[in-house]
Amino acid sequence: MRVTLLGPQRRPTIDTVAASLPPREPIATITAGWQEREGDDAELAKLLGSRDVNLLLHQRWLDVAERDPQYAAGERTAGEIIDELQALYLLRLDHTLQAVYEVQRRSGSDRLRASVLAESLAAVQELDAAHLHRVSQVRLEFYARLRPHDRPVIAEHRAEVAQVLAGAAALVVAGGHVGVLTDVLHLFNVAAALRSPVIAWSAGAMALAERIVLFHDRSAHGPGHPEVYTSGLSLVRGMVPLPHARARLLLDDAPRMAVFARRFAPARCVLLENGTRLDIDDGNWPPATRVLTEDGHVTTLEAA
Amino acid sequence: MTTVGGQTVVRRKLAINRLRERRPVEPAVIDRFLARHEVPIVEGARCTFLFRGAAGEVHLVHQIFGLPGRIPLRQVPGTDLWYLVLELPDRSRVEYQLEVSRDGRSERINDPLNPHLAHSPLGSSSVCFAHGYEVPEWTKPDPDSRPGSLTEFTVASRALRRDAKVTLYLPARFRRAARYPLLIVHDGSDYLRYAAASTVLDNLIHRLDVAEIVAAFVDPGDRLTEYANSAAHARYLTAELVPRLEAEFPLAGTPAARCLMGASFGAVASLATAYRYPDVYGSLLLQSGSFVFTDIGNDHRGGPAFEPVVRFVNRYRAGPRRVADRLFVSCGVYEPLIIRNRSMVPTFESAGMTVRYVEARDGHSWENWRDRLREGLSWIFPGPQKFFYE
């Protein structure tokens, strides 16, 4: 499947991508990351030549919550468990990553330090993997118990979504709240219904990856640890998408970025800045893709 | 001219010194000088305080820990202009008054040449913003931020044996279906009036720095009694106020979603309440806590009001106990409590609590406490910013 990842759309480039799609066919859009502003998509519609069909996944999710209270209650409980798991993971992550940074800063034999650093990073990777597994387990148990595919309200929405996607020239996924977006993408089984190319940016791009990594080095209380949040749609493999990388990450802090890159290896940390366009065909990325290197610098894929 | 690191640096003379070099310094020259400059005159690290008027002596009075409490101003010969040059580190914020003595009498006044005032329950004082200090823009009303609501109600408290007023902040877009964390703020009316707490919450929530929260602003009766390790106060909050709020409002109702906050004696009240109910509150936000203690003897120099505080803090230091999961502790480096607060950090940590400790070049003041709210609240109840990628 062809996937196009774009940089943030404050200065839109989606119109040029849309222009290359077969004319007259509708373009499905997902703006659920905007939550209650989901329907404020007039500007996007204009950029897509007014042939957009918004799947309104957030609105559908609200409808499910209202018409299927049992499902909504189960979802809330699962959400609370996941929130608690995330808090506990962050607690452990803080200590584990601090150890990595301390080993990295430590003076002494480079050879010894390098091997200990590798072990420390492996501990972080193990923690990330264990956390992702736990979160997946909670979701699987939730799905096994609530069986969304057997629930009439959800089935009705899934069918409608699949119908629109079947006739669409492309699916466009905008940014916003990556957690909300990913939840509704899973709930309405979007990945299974896809038949056409996908174009995404910001949170939309993150949701297409195998795992979603949250990051914000410029938060009000100082740099936060990049954290694994949940599984994405896995339409793009081997990539940790980093939208707004320059604005959100301390890219000039090479040791910190080195830990970031090595922690998620072999996946590549890919910068999605203003003006970025990555056309990915059969898993092949353009050579100009900008990535974080394992020494914490930014370079192109071909130079890496 | 001077040499720094092998490079020649031209240092401009201070404005006051350029004025003093003029002979004679006519009143009209001083008029023009004052019209041209904001007072205090901030030139790099050096701040020139000025007073103009008939006086026998003029002193700068302040609470900067480490400097003499009264510092004399000097008179420019042959004029009624008085001046004092102080070096203040970058980003300092200093509250002060002038003590003007004439005819054997002294009075303390706010600086008539400086329009910047800080307000507190004890009155107002002048403020000097040193080089690099800026009032954070998130403390000012922002038309883009949707305001939360403030409503007052009264709790007929059996523990306190009085009616206790509570001002409740509900965030904009408050929904019954959601579940909110609860912040309980001591000296609530003062936080609202002097630290712009409602505006700060509106802005920080709007900017996604802080989660949508419900905040209960509570006020003391007899502050020095209720906030000085009072069992009745702790019982009021924990057995009366929290259960009532959790019954009436959609609150998460877990320790992680409850925080006690306070400044000065309010910080003592927060710590003492969590000490008595260690499984109830997940976080404490303690600003310039009056954590006065003695290591030996009883000479704490705090006066009788501090007796119960000293007994409590001494007991706590002798046997530190985990009272919450996370503590945000802040203090101004220009306040006498700075050493007490620094000393408490390892004590808190030794009890197994996660402590975020922050210092500011500021004093024991509401604006110091206001300016630290973003860092403190966003650490305790982080907003969803990490989830947003537009």
Q: pLDDT for B111-126, tens place per residue?
A: 999 999 998 888 899 9
CA distance B178 to chain A (A): 10
Residue B327: CB atoms within 10 Å: 24
State the pLDDT at residue B2: 52
Look up the CATH number of the domain holding residue B79: 2.60.40.10
Spell out which residues of chain B touch residue A176, defining contact as CB-CB under 8 Å. Answer: 388-390
Distance CA B151, CA B155 (A): 13
Asked whether residue A50 carries a pLDDT value surpassing 80, the answer given is: yes
Determine the average pLDDT of the residues in B88-115.
Answer: 97
Percent of chain B scoring above 70 in pLDDT = 97
User: What does the pLDDT look like over B138-181, one tens digit per residue?
Assistant: 999 999 999 999 999 999 999 999 999 999 999 999 999 889 99
Residues B124 and B144 grouped into a single domain = no
State the pLDDT at residue B8: 59
Please give the residue range of the domain that contains residue B367. 137-387
Mutate to test the interface with B, among A35, A41, A82, A221 (most CBs of B within 10 A): A221
Determine the average pLDDT of the residues in B194-203.
Answer: 98
Which residue's entry shows tokens 């148990």? A141
Query: 3-class DSSP state for residue B306?
Result: helix
Residues B44 and B155 grouped into a single domain = no
On whether residue B1 sits in a domain, the answer given is no
On whether residue B87 sits in a domain, the answer given is yes
Confidence of residue B182 (pLDDT cuts 50, 70, 90): very high
Peptide bond into A287 cis (omega under 30): no
Residues B291 and B333 grouped into a single domain = yes
Average pLDDT, chain B: 95
Per DSSP, the residues of A4-37 read EEE--SSS--HHHHHHTSPTTS-EEEE-GGGGGG
Percent of chain A scoring above 70 in pLDDT = 100
Asked whether residue B196 carries a pLDDT value surpassing 60, the answer given is: yes
Q: Do B384 and A177 touch (CB under 8 A)?
A: yes
Q: Which residue of B has its CA nearest to A9?
A: B390
Residues B94 and B152 grouped into a single domain = no
Look up the CATH number of the domain holding residue B194: 3.40.50.1820
Determine the average pLDDT of the residues in B269-275.
Answer: 98
Residues B356 and B312 grouped into a single domain = yes
The domain tally of chain B equals 2
Examine the predicted complex and report whether its ipTM is higher than 0.85.
yes
Segments in A106-238 forming alpha helices (H) = 110-146, 152-166, 178-187, 190-193, 203-207
On whether residue B122 sits in a domain, the answer given is yes
Is residue B289 a contact partner of residue B341, using CB atoms and an 8 Å limit? yes
Touching check for A216 and chain B: CB below 8 Å?
Answer: yes
Q: Do B389 and A243 touch (CB under 8 A)?
A: yes
Average pLDDT, chain A: 96
Query: Which of B129, B147, B169 corresponds to the end of one domain?
Result: B129
Touching check for A206 and chain B: CB below 8 Å?
Answer: yes
- Comparing CB atoms, the residue among B209, B378, B387 nearest residue A179 is B387
Mutate to test the interface with A, among B329, B388, B389 (most CBs of A within 10 A): B389
Confidence of residue A87 (pLDDT cuts 50, 70, 90): very high
Confidence of residue B63 (pLDDT cuts 50, 70, 90): confident
Confidence of residue B73 (pLDDT cuts 50, 70, 90): very high
Residues B123 and B211 grouped into a single domain = no
Residues B93 and B213 grouped into a single domain = no
- Comparing CB atoms, the residue among B374, B378, B388 nearest residue A176 is B388
Residues B149 and B79 grouped into a single domain = no
The residue that leads in pLDDT, B23 or B283, is B283
Is residue B162 a contact partner of residue B141, using CB atoms and an 8 Å limit? no
Query: B244 exposed, middle or buried (CB, 10 Å; 0-12, 13-18, 19+)?
Result: middle
Q: Do B378 and A220 touch (CB under 8 A)?
A: yes
Determine the average pLDDT of the residues in B7-30.
Answer: 86
Look up the CATH number of the domain holding residue A190: 3.40.50.880
Spell out which residues of chain B touch residue A177, defining contact as CB-CB under 8 Å. Answer: 384, 387-388
Please give the residue range of the domain that contains residue A129. 3-300
Q: Do A221 and B356 touch (CB under 8 A)?
A: yes
Q: Do B374 and A178 touch (CB under 8 A)?
A: no
User: What does the pLDDT look like over B356-389, one tens digit per residue?
Assistant: 999 999 999 999 999 999 999 999 999 999 999 9
State the pLDDT at residue A109: 87
Touching check for A20 and chain B: CB below 8 Å?
Answer: no
Residue A180: CB atoms within 10 Å: 21
Report which of A170, A161, A171 is spatially closest to residue A23, judged by C-alpha positions: A170
Touching check for B352 and chain A: CB below 8 Å?
Answer: no
Is residue B361 a contact partner of residue B93, using CB atoms and an 8 Å limit? yes
pTM of the model: 0.90
State the pLDDT at residue B300: 84
Spell out which residues of chain A touch residue B383, defining contact as CB-CB under 8 Å. Answer: 220
On whether residue B327 sits in a domain, the answer given is yes
State the pLDDT at residue B4: 52
User: What does the pLDDT look like over B28-48, one tens digit per residue?
Assistant: 999 999 999 999 999 999 999
The residue that leads in pLDDT, A267 or B22, is A267
State the pLDDT at residue A122: 98
User: What does the pLDDT look like over A212-254, one tens digit per residue?
Assistant: 999 999 999 889 999 999 999 999 999 999 999 999 999 999 9
State the pLDDT at residue B121: 83
Asked whether residue B56 carries a pLDDT value surpassing 70, the answer given is: yes
State the pLDDT at residue A221: 87
Residues B297 and B365 grouped into a single domain = yes
Distances (CA, A) of B94 to A115, B40, B337: 50, 11, 16
Spell out which residues of chain B touch residue A179, defining contact as CB-CB under 8 Å. Answer: 384, 387
Query: Which of B129, B164, B181 corresponds to the end of one domain?
Result: B129
Query: Which of B70, B97, B129 corresponds to the end of one domain?
Result: B129
The domain tally of chain A equals 1
User: What does the pLDDT look like over A151-199, one tens digit per residue?
Assistant: 999 999 999 999 999 999 999 999 999 999 999 999 999 999 999 999 9
Touching check for A144 and chain B: CB below 8 Å?
Answer: no
Residues B83 and B143 grouped into a single domain = no
CA distance A161 to chain B (A): 23
CA distance A102 to chain B (A): 18
Residues B86 and B163 grouped into a single domain = no
